[in-house]
Structure 1
Amino acid sequence: MGDATRWTVNVATETDIDVRTYLAQRGMKKGDLSRFIEESVKWRLLDLTLAEARAGFDDVSPEEMSELIDEAIADARRN
């Protein structure tokens, strides 16, 4: 994890119990909760970023999208 920043967060008691139970069932060790949270946040950020990128192409037809992808692949292969 390298340098770390301490967070203070509040979650529902049920969420706390669920995640701690999940980790305990898998042999939770010290620091596993922090790693679980960090990984979860990274995945959520990726999910949100992809959703925003996809929304930018909502008005593009499937045919246009296919052409854009083919063009990008051809450009990548030339370089």
Structure 2
Amino acid sequence: MGEEITRWSVNVDSRTDIDLRTYLAQRGMKKGDLSKFIEDAVKWRLLDLTMAETREAFADTDATELDALIDEAVSAARSN
């Protein structure tokens, strides 16, 4: 069972395009690797934004309470 692929049309600055393609070429990567690179970059950015939002949401939470919440979440995840 394969993954469903969605085609994107994006616009980037020409300097960014050249820099990225040069980076990929220097490492022996091919044209198809551009899509993988972009997908990985988007995933990392989403994780970064989610982590920043989470930090902000829990900024006023007491450290002991936060540790208890984390322990509870880890236990719940491990039991599934």
TM exceeds 0.5?
yes
Question: Who wins on radius of gyration, i.e. which is larger?
Answer: 1
Shift, 1:76, TM fit: 2.2
2:75 counterpart letter in structure 1 = A
Shift, 1:64, TM fit: 4.0
Q: Which residue of 1 aligns with 2:45?
A: 44
Output the CA distance in 1 between the equivalents of 2:66 and 2:3: 40
Output the CA distance in 2 between the equivalents of 1:34 and 1:76: 36
| Structure 1 unaligned blocks of 5 or more | none
2:59 counterpart letter in structure 1 = D
- Equivalent residues, number: 76
Q: TM-score, normalised by structure 1?
A: 0.77
Q: TM-score, normalised by structure 2?
A: 0.76
Output the CA distance in 1 between the equivalents of 2:6 and 2:68: 44
- The equivalences for 1:28-67 within 5 A come to 28-67=29-68
The percent of aligned pairs where both chains have the same amino acid is 61
Q: Which residue of 1 aligns with 2:19?
A: 18
| Structure 2 unaligned blocks of 5 or more | none
Say what the alpha-carbon RMSD is for the aligned residues.
Answer: 2.4
Q: 1:69 to 1:6 in 2, by over 3 A?
A: closer
Q: 1:64 to 1:2 in 2, by over 3 A?
A: closer
